[in-house]
């Protein structure tokens, strides 16, 4: 068969091309022809199709995401913002931290283990390309009902994939979350976060600068796995029975481990001008993005690419998403030193091209030119859609049907049973079945890990400075009010970080939604982005980067709109961190913030009644800042010895988790004249419980008064007690509570 070269494309303009099969619309194909002044070659069509996919080009979300940057608060800490592989923030003492979260949802449905494993591998490489050593990972997961057959297939594989890849890399998994809802049947969410540490002057960028500099592909060989992953798998909805296994990448964590060490030694020797990982869209992405962000010109000889399967076509080589590969731009005089480092780590490295002054990306194969394109049109000038937006017709019914007629527990025994039922529900139950499969303490710098409020790591062995990270989201809240739901996710992650004693500094996000071609979904998305942008401005912390994942639905049924928000904070001395569990006998338990009757989207409605309706909890971001300041200052001055944010499950669930953390009982006296059901199970935001040593009570309450933070002593930690006792209501023995809380996952998943 004749190779489809640029010369052939010019001579044969009428050849039918499978643009639709590759995920391109007719008008997009016409635009490509206009850009090139001819029809694209088969290789060019492949590159445009993967790079103009929803996953890579953000064509439906870009116009909305701009407001995040436009509304961003000023930040002296922000070193690298949106647009690079990951954002970078200055955390003091010459240190910088990079972190980002991305999705691997559809691959994890098709092949749970490899889908989740390569999701971890991909986000780790994003962090590595910034010049940082990856130091920790986290994950946020969503599945259908825990008892669903589909969940039984996917959850164990996803968890094994995350643990298997991360553990082999030697990276601690320091936290995350998992929740369940029928909307995720057939479309799980697997969002992976990685954080990396570097010196402030060690930042690397994805730019191909310097005419004559060599383009080096290094790492694993290129195979057929993952072809079409971004254009077909990640940018389309699933129908029942879909099977797209060829689109799932296959990971090798041991190859990635040596690649990490190889890169870090290359960085230390200052041997690269620019660097990019090969993840989604593979070599198409790496070459076009490097060229577009640099001098604009690059020549690639595709015959030089090391292949696992010699029979691969040029289109397959360009679109392959084989893992554990990197692309570097290196000065000619540094090539030998670069190769020497790669040889030391037994990493395959090959010069496949060079930077040119042509302003075009040109690719040759078998001695013929098969690609000749302006790289920016491929990488950064894809289509931008102004999708139709329409508030769902049923939205008012959701909000107005607030569940006030749902039967509430009227007796003390019923209230006691409800607290236990919630504690044993899959969304709130002990997650040790999952986290015990992860190594949380490898590398020796983990300070806090799940089930704590947030994960925390020391930056290096020779410093007490550390960072804390939390990732949170609530699809039920966002379904009821997308604007408020995004802000509630932001507020919870912000609150969780502050509860450890770290000061929130920056935000990343992964926005998981249904099809952008559905006007109702685009209304949810636009409102959530607006809420996130306004919330970050109000809290004074910038978004450093993130990910949008559309087409999360099975057939015509979208998932709950699920923005997952990650917040990173810095703490000067990790020895002054605040854990969440009760551990100090006689300490006084304080409830901070205001409790209102707020049950819309609550765990009580979801677990007990299978109901979704009403308004989510009210958001007051100014109060969140005050609460955070109090917890941070109290931790610094050692006025508190534990802190736990209140969110899903309310005060009752917070008390359960605090008591069971170290098997310390508590005696609680609810405020007089209040409704015990509301006080215990409301999910009002902007709240936390802290324990205060008796000797610090006066100073702590003075701090709350000075900041105008509502507070009240509601009980005492009692090491001799073997129960959680709510005076005048009920008493639950800790062994009984532990059995209810810890038995759920082993019972469901073996």
| DSSP H stretches of helix in 240-292 | 253-268, 282-292
Residues 336, 214: Cα–Cα separation, whole Å: 11
- Alpha-carbon distance values, 452 to 39, 290, 559, 566 (Å): 56, 40, 28, 15
Rounded CA-CA distance 585/330 in Å is 60
Cα–Cα distance between 325 and 558 in angstroms, integer? 34
For 543, phi and psi rounded to 5 degrees? -85, 125
Task: Residue 666: name the closest of 723, 714, 613 by CA.
Answer: 723
Alpha-carbon gap, residue 320 to 302, rounded angstroms: 13
Distance CA 439, CA 140 (A): 16
Taking the chain, what is the end-to-end CA distance rounded to the nearest angstrom? 54
Could you identify the residue written with the tokens 């994942």? 549
> Which residues partner with 215 through β-bridges?
329, 353
Please state, in angstroms and rounded to a whole number, the distance separating the CA atoms of residues 129 and 118. Answer: 16
Where are any strands of DSSP class E within 144-235? 173-180, 189-199, 214-219
Q: Which residues are catalytic?
A: 55, 104
Quote the tokens at residue 9.
């494309």
Q: Are 86 and 130 in contact (CB under 8 A)?
A: yes
Measured over the CA atoms of residue 517, residue 100, residue 112 and residue 473, the dihedral's sign is: negative
Cβ atoms within 10 A of the Cβ of 718, count? Answer: 18
Question: From CA 539, how far away is CA 128, in angstroms rounded?
Answer: 29
Phi-psi region at 221: left, alpha or beta (left = phi > 0; alpha = psi -120 to 50): beta
Query: Assign residue 37 a region: left if phi > 0, alpha if psi is -120 to 50, beta otherwise?
Result: left
d(CA 195, CA 402): 40
H/E stretch holding 159 reads: helix 149-169
Q: What angle do CA 379, 243, 220 make, to 5 degrees?
A: 50
């Amino acid at each position: 068969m004749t190779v489809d070269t640029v010369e052939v494309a010019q001579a044969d303009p009428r050849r039918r091309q499978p643009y639709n099969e590759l995920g391109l619309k007719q008008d997009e194909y016409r635009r490509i022809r206009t850009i090139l002044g001819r029809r694209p070659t088969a290789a060019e069509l492949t590159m445009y199709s993967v790079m103009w996919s929803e996953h890579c080009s953000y064509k439906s979300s870009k116009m909305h995401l701009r407001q995040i940057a436009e509304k961003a608060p000023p930040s002296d800490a922000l070193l690298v913002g949106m647009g690079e592989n990951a954002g970078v923030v200055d955390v003091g003492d010459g240190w910088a931290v990079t972190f980002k979260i991305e999705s691997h949802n559809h691959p994890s449905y098709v092949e749970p283990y490899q889908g989740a494993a390569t999701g971890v591998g991909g986000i780790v490489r994003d962090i590595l390309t910034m010049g940082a050593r990856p130091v920790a990972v986290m994950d946020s997961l969503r599945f259908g009902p825990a008892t669903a057959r589909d969940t039984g297939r996917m959850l164990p594989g996803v968890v094994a994939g995350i643990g298997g890849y991360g553990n082999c890399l030697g990276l601690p998994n320091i936290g995350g979350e998992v929740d369940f809802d029928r909307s995720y049947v057939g479309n799980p969410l697997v969002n992976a976060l990685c954080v990396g540490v570097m010196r402030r002057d060690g930042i690397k960028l994805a730019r191909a600068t310097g005419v004559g500099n060599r383009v080096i592909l290094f790492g694993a060989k290129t195979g057929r796995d993952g072809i079409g992953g971004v254009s077909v798998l990640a940018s389309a909805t699933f129908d029942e029975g879909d099977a797209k296994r060829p689109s799932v990448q296959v990971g090798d964590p041991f190859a990635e481990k040596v690649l990490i060490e190889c890169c870090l030694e290359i960085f230390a020797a200052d041997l690269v001008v620019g660097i990019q990982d090969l993840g989604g869209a593979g070599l198409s992405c790496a070459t076009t993005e490097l060229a577009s962000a640099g001098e604009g010109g690059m020549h690639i000889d595709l015959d030089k690419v090391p292949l696992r399967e010699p029979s691969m076509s040029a289109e397959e080589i360009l679109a392959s998403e084989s893992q554990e590969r990197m692309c570097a731009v290196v000065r000619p005089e540094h090539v030998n030193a670069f190769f020497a480092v790669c040889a030391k780590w037994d990493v395959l490295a090959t010069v496949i091209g060079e930077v040119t002054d042509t302003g075009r990306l040109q690719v040759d194969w078998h001695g013929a030119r098969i690609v000749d394109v302006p790289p920016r049109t491929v990488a950064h000038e894809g289509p931008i859609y102004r999708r139709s937006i329409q508030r769902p017709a049923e939205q008012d019914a959701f909000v107005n049907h607030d569940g006030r007629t749902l039967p509430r527990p009227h007796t003390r025994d019923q209230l006691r049973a409800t607290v236990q039922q919630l504690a044993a529900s899959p969304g709130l139950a002990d997650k040790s079945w999952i986290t015990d499969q992860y190594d949380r303490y490898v590398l020796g710098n983990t300070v806090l890990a799940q089930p704590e409020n947030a994960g925390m790591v020391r930056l290096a062995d020779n410093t007490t400075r550390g960072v804390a990270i939390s990732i949170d989201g609530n699809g039920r809240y966002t379904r009821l009010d997308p604007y408020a739901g995004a802000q509630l996710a932001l507020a919870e992650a912000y609150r969780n970080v502050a509860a450890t004693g770290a000061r929130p500094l920056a935000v990343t996000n992964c926005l998981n939604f249904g099809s952008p071609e559905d006007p109702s979904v685009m209304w949810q998305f636009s409102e959530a982005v607006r809420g996130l942008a306004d919330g970050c401005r109000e809290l004074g912390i910038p978004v450093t980067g993130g990910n949008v994942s559309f087409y999360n639905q099975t057939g015509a049924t979208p998932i709950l709109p699920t923005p997952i928000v990650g917040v990173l904070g810095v703490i000067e001395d990790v020895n002054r961190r605040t854990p969440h569990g009760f551990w100090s006998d006689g300490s006084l338990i304080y409830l901070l913030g205001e409790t209102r009757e707020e049950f819309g989207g609550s765990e009580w409605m979801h677990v007990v009644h299978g109901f979704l309706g009403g308004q989510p909890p009210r958001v007051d971001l100014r109060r969140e800042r005050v609460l955070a300041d109090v917890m941070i200052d109290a931790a610094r001055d050692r006025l508190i010895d534990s802190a736990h944010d209140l969110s899903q499950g309310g005060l009752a669930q917070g008390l359960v988790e605090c008591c069971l953390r170290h098997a310390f009982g508590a005696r609680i006296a609810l405020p007089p004249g209040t409704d015990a059901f509301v006080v215990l199970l409301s999910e009002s935001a902007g709240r936390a419980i802290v324990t205060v040593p008796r000797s610090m009570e006066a100073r702590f309450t003075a701090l709350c008064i000075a900041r105008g933070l509502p507070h009240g002593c509601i009980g005492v930690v009692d090491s001799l007690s073997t129960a959680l006792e709510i005076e005048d209501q009920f008493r639950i023995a800790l062994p009984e509570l532990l059995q209810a809380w810890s038995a759920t996952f082993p019972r469901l998943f073996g």
